[in-house]
Structure 1
Amino acid sequence: MGRIGRPDRAAMNDYAIRKMVIVGGGTAGWMTAAAFSRVFSALPGLHIELVESDAIGTVGVGEASIPDICLFNNLLGIDENEFVRQTGATYKLGIEFVDWTRLGHRYVHPFGHYGIDMMGIEFQHFWLKGKGLGDNSLLDAYSMAAVAGKAGRFMRPHSDQPNSPLSKFSYAFQFDAGRYAKYLRARAEAQGVKRTEGKITKVEQDNESGFVTAVVLENGTHITGDLFIDCSGFRSLLIGETLGVGFEDWTPWLPCDRAVAIPCTHPEGELSEPLTRSTARPAGWQWRIPLQHRIGNGHVYSSMHMSSDEATSLLLAHLDGEPLADPNYIRFTAGHRHKAWEKNVVALGLAGGFLEPLESTAIHLVQAGIARLMTLFPTREFRREEIDRFNRESIEDYSEIRDFLVLHYKATERNDSAFWDYCRTLEPPPGLADKLAMFRSSGRVFRENNELFTETSWLSVMVGQGMEADGYHPAADLLPDNETMNRLAHIRSVVQGTADAMPTQSEFLIQQGSVMVKG
Structure 2
Amino acid sequence: MTDPRIRNIVIVGGGTAGWMAAAAFAKVLDAGCSIRLVESEEIGTVGVGEGTVPHLKLFNNLLGIDDVEFVRNTQGTFKLGVQFNDWGRLGDSYVHGFGTIGHDVGLLPFHQYWIKARQAGKADEIGAYSLNTVAAPRGRFMPSASDAPPGSPLANVAYAYHFDAGRYARFLRGYAEQRGVRRTEGKVAQTVLRAADGFVEAIVLESGERIEGELFIDCSGFRGLLIEQALHTGYLDFSHWLPCDRALAVACEKVGPPTPYTRSSARPAGWQWRIPLQHRTGNGYVYSSAHVSDDEAATTLLGHLDGAPMGEPRLLRFTTGVRRQAWSRNVVALGLAGGFLEPLESTSIYMIQSGITRLLNLFPRHDFSPVLTERYNAQSRFEYEHIRDFLILHYHATERDDTPFWNQCRMMSIPPPLADNIRLFRDSGRFFRDGEEMFATPSWVQVMLGQRIAPKGYHPLVDQMPDAELAGFMASVSHVVASCVEVMPAHQAFIDRCCTAPAMVA
| 1:227 partner amino acid | L
Q: State the shift of 1:168 in Å.
A: 4.9
TM-score by length of 2: 0.98
Contact 1:28 1:231 (C-alpha < 8 Å) held by counterparts:
yes
TM-score by length of 1: 0.95
- Name which of structure 1's ranges 336-345 and 129-138 shifts more when overlaid on structure 2: 129-138
Out of 60, 63, 66, the residue aligned to residue 53 of structure 2 is 66
Contact 1:82 1:514 (C-alpha < 8 Å) held by counterparts:
no
- Name which of structure 1's ranges 222-231 and 489-498 shifts more when overlaid on structure 2: 489-498
User: What are the residue-to-residue correspondences of 1:421-432 with 2, within 5 Å?
Assistant: 421-432=407-418
Contact 2:428 2:459 (C-alpha < 8 Å) held by counterparts:
yes
Q: State the shift of 1:272 in Å.
A: 2.4
- Output the CA distance in 1 between the equivalents of 2:145 and 2:333: 37
Runs of 4+ with >3 A deviation: 158-161, 513-517
Q: 1:382 to 1:119 in 2, by over 3 A?
A: closer
| 2:180 partner amino acid | G
Structure 1 unaligned segments of length 5 or more: list them. 1-9
Contact 2:114 2:123 (C-alpha < 8 Å) held by counterparts:
no
- Output the CA distance in 2 between the equivalents of 1:232 and 1:188: 18
Out of 309, 315, 318, the residue aligned to residue 332 of structure 1 is 318
Residue 108 (structure 1) aligned with residue 104 (structure 2): no
The residue aligned with 2:246 is 258
Q: State the shift of 1:136 in Å.
A: 5.0
The residue aligned with 1:18 is 7
Residue 158 (structure 1) aligned with residue 150 (structure 2): no
- Output the CA distance in 2 between the equivalents of 1:513 and 1:420: 41
- Output the CA distance in 2 between the equivalents of 1:395 and 1:508: 39
Structure 1 SS opposite 2:82: strand
- Output the CA distance in 2 between the equivalents of 1:113 and 1:517: 36
Contact 2:117 2:471 (C-alpha < 8 Å) held by counterparts:
yes
Contact 2:13 2:38 (C-alpha < 8 Å) held by counterparts:
yes
Structure 2 SS opposite 1:241: coil
The residue aligned with 2:70 is 83
Structure 1 SS opposite 2:252: coil
User: What are the residue-to-residue correspondences of 1:90-489 with 2, within 5 Å?
Assistant: 90-135=77-122, 137-158=124-145, 161-267=149-255, 269=256, 271-489=257-475
Contact 2:74 2:501 (C-alpha < 8 Å) held by counterparts:
no
Contact 1:283 1:301 (C-alpha < 8 Å) held by counterparts:
yes
Structure 2 SS opposite 1:466: coil
Q: State the shift of 1:483 in Å.
A: 1.7
- Output the CA distance in 2 between the equivalents of 1:404 and 1:132: 26
| 2:295 partner amino acid | D
Structure 1 SS opposite 2:227: helix
Residue 505 (structure 1) aligned with residue 491 (structure 2): yes
- Output the CA distance in 2 between the equivalents of 1:204 and 1:74: 37
- Output the CA distance in 1 between the equivalents of 2:174 and 2:294: 37
Structure 2 SS opposite 1:242: coil
| 2:100 partner amino acid | H
Contact 1:119 1:475 (C-alpha < 8 Å) held by counterparts:
no
1:287-323 Cα deviation digits (max 9, x unpaired): 0000101100000000111111111110000000111
- Output the CA distance in 1 between the equivalents of 2:208 and 2:430: 60
| 2:219 partner amino acid | C
| 1:48 partner amino acid | I
Structure 1 SS opposite 2:136: helix
Q: 1:307 to 1:513 in 2, by over 3 A?
A: closer
Q: State the shift of 1:236 in Å.
A: 0.5
Q: Give the count of matched residue pairs.
A: 504
Structure 2 unaligned segments of length 5 or more: list them. none
Contact 1:92 1:274 (C-alpha < 8 Å) held by counterparts:
yes
